[in-house]
Amino acid sequence: MSSIHLTDIVRHGEREKKRLQEKIKEKVKQGLKQYVTDESFVGQQGKKYVRVPIYGLRLPRFEVDPSKRGGVGQGDGKPGQPLPGQGQPQPGQGQGQAGNDEGEHQIEVDVNIDEMLDIIGETLELPNIQDKGKKKKIISERIRYDNLRKVGPEATLDIRRTIKNAIVRSIACGLYDPLTDPEPVFEITKDDKRHKVWEVVTQRTTNAVIIAMMDISGSMGEEQKEIVRTEMFWLESWLKRQYNGLEIVYIVHDTKAQIVDQEVFYSISEGGGTNISSAYQLCKRLMETAYDPKDWNIYPFHFSDGDNWSGEDDTLCIDLLKNYILPNCNQFSYAQVVSKWGSGKFKEVLETKLDSQDRKNLVVSVVKDKEGILGSIKEFLQSGK
């Protein structure tokens, strides 16, 4: 007679699950371009896991296309009438045996954002950011109780440990027997007392700030904004990992610039003209007041379709960049998102009006479509500044 060993299943099961996780990671790596642009991620800042559909995990097989075969169902309806509940298509499942719908082709799994970043870093061969010693600042002093002592002020008495010691001593001396005495009777002596001892812990953190600027003028379509948000999300997540306590300021601009919070930045849709200088002005003001370049690592990012209104404004921008922003930041990143309506001239302006000395801290990248996001991220982050 056979017997079932339930331990078998548990052992194999764990192994299979582990391998499955590895497989999922492999798949994500293979289709990184696609996953990076997956909308499931954007707006999920701060979450540990994001649920994304994984393609190609299921083993392939020869299968008759359900839509070319037809099936047998049950219920009301005259010939020619559509079947009920076709909100989500449910490609026919033969007679409950052959059925395999679209839903099985892809399977949704929880992907760890941290793991995703590892994969991105690995694939794009991104360097870690170089240490900038002088810009470190002590940000906090904390008190941590991590030791015990027999003497100390009454306020630090560890009552639980003290009483425990007292009971143990009483039992050892035969003064108290827990089996016979209904109520514990014991005395706390000096020897039983334990005091907590604290230590001051200082945590040193690098100071870094991202100044994220986005053009929300009329010429930036929904698609372009989508690209900006996706790319910004990954840039943000990457830098967050590099810097403990990274701060982010979100700026949106058309003809005027304003500071908005994260939620607005990731959901706003506006229209209007474009004065890029307005954003740069605001950026400069922030650097002058809140984020002193002496203490802060500053990363301005600017996303636009490159369609500035006037040449005058272009000159103003160049002036701002040349004389203040570029010399004082770690890296100024300009991403030009290709749009049907934008002229895309601002990129040329940047490349012609600034000499090579000024352009040392400037990275310009062009994003054609969603596919281009990964490449653009690489351009921005590969210098490791």
Partner 1 sequence: MDLTPELHGWNEKIMDVATSYGLDYFPTVFYMLPYSYLTEIASHGGFPSRYYHWNFGLEHEKLKRSYEWGMGKIYELVINTNPCYAYLLENNDMMQQKLVMAHVYGHCDFFKNNIYFANTNRNMLDEMANHSSRVEKYIQNYGASEVESFIDACMCIQEHIHPFGITKVDYQEELSSEEEFLAYGKKKMLEKNPKYMETFLNSKEYIELRKKQYQSRLEKAQKFPSSPVKDLLFFLLMHAPLKKWQEDILYIIRKERYYFVPQGQTKIVNEGWASYWHFKIMTEHFLDGDEVIQFAMDHSGTLAKSPYQINPYYLGFTLLNDVEKRYNRGQFGEKWEDCKNPRERERWDLKTNRGREKIFEIRAIDNDYSFIDKYLTEEFCDEHKLFKYNYNQQTGQWVVSDRSFESVKEQLLTNLANFGIPYIVVEDGNYKNRGELYLKHHHEGDLRTDYCFDTLGAIYYIWKRPVHLETMIDGRKKLYSYTSPDDKKLVDM
C-beta of 99: minimal distance to partner 1 in Å?
Answer: 6
What string of H, E and C letters represents the secondary structure of 195-247?
EEEEEEEEEEEECEEEEEEEECCCCCCHHHHHHHHHHHHHHHHHHHHHCCCEE
Q: Which stretch binds partner 1 (CB under 8 A): 51-59, 129-137, 189-197, 309-317?
A: 51-59
Distance CA(329)–CA(296), nearest Å, equals: 9
Which member of 66, 300, 342, 372 binds partner 1 (CB under 8 A)?
Answer: 66
Report the DSSP beta bridge partners of residue 203.
Answer: 140
Buried b vs exposed e over 250-274: b needs ≥16 C-beta within 10 Å? bbbbbeebeebeeeebbeeeeeeeb
C-beta of 383: minimal distance to partner 1 in Å?
Answer: 35
Distance CA(224)–CA(368), nearest Å, equals: 9
Residue pair 158/108 in contact by the 8 Å Cβ criterion: no
Task: Give residue 99's identity as a one-letter amino acid code.
Answer: G
Which member of 30, 40, 47, 84 binds partner 1 (CB under 8 A)?
Answer: 84
Based on the shown chain and the rule CB under 8 A, indicate whether residue 23 belongs to the binding site for partner 1.
Answer: yes
Choose between 8 and 154: whose C-beta lies nearer to partner 1. Answer: 8
Choose between 79 and 174: whose C-beta lies nearer to partner 1. Answer: 79
Based on the shown chain and the rule CB under 8 A, indicate whether residue 355 belongs to the binding site for partner 1.
Answer: no
Based on the shown chain and the rule CB under 8 A, indicate whether residue 290 belongs to the binding site for partner 1.
Answer: no
Based on the shown chain and the rule CB under 8 A, indicate whether residue 72 belongs to the binding site for partner 1.
Answer: yes
Q: Which stretch binds partner 1 (CB under 8 A): 68-76, 203-211, 296-304, 338-346?
A: 68-76
Choose between 20 and 168: whose C-beta lies nearer to partner 1. Answer: 20
Based on the shown chain and the rule CB under 8 A, indicate whether residue 201 belongs to the binding site for partner 1.
Answer: no
Based on the shown chain and the rule CB under 8 A, indicate whether residue 98 belongs to the binding site for partner 1.
Answer: yes
Binding marks (x or -) toward partner 1, 107..146, rule CB under 8 A?
Answer: x-x-------------------------------------
Both structure tokens of 362: 């400037």
Choose between 16 and 122: whose C-beta lies nearer to partner 1. Answer: 16
User: Strand 362-367 and strand 332-337: pairing?
Assistant: parallel
Which member of 20, 175, 197, 201 binds partner 1 (CB under 8 A)?
Answer: 20
Choose between 105 and 345: whose C-beta lies nearer to partner 1. Answer: 105
Distance CA(314)–CA(190), nearest Å, equals: 79
Residue pair 184/176 in contact by the 8 Å Cβ criterion: yes
Instruction: List phi, psi (to 5°) of 333.
Output: -110, 125
C-beta of 30: minimal distance to partner 1 in Å?
Answer: 13
Distance CA(383)–CA(385), nearest Å, equals: 5
Choose between 71 and 272: whose C-beta lies nearer to partner 1. Answer: 71
Residues whose CB falls within 8 Å of the CB of residue 74, separated by 6 or more in sequence, listed in order: none
C-beta of 368: minimal distance to partner 1 in Å?
Answer: 27
Where do contacts with partner 1 occur on this chain (CB under 8 A)? 1-2, 4-6, 8-10, 12-13, 15-17, 19-20, 23, 57-86, 89-99, 104-105, 107, 109
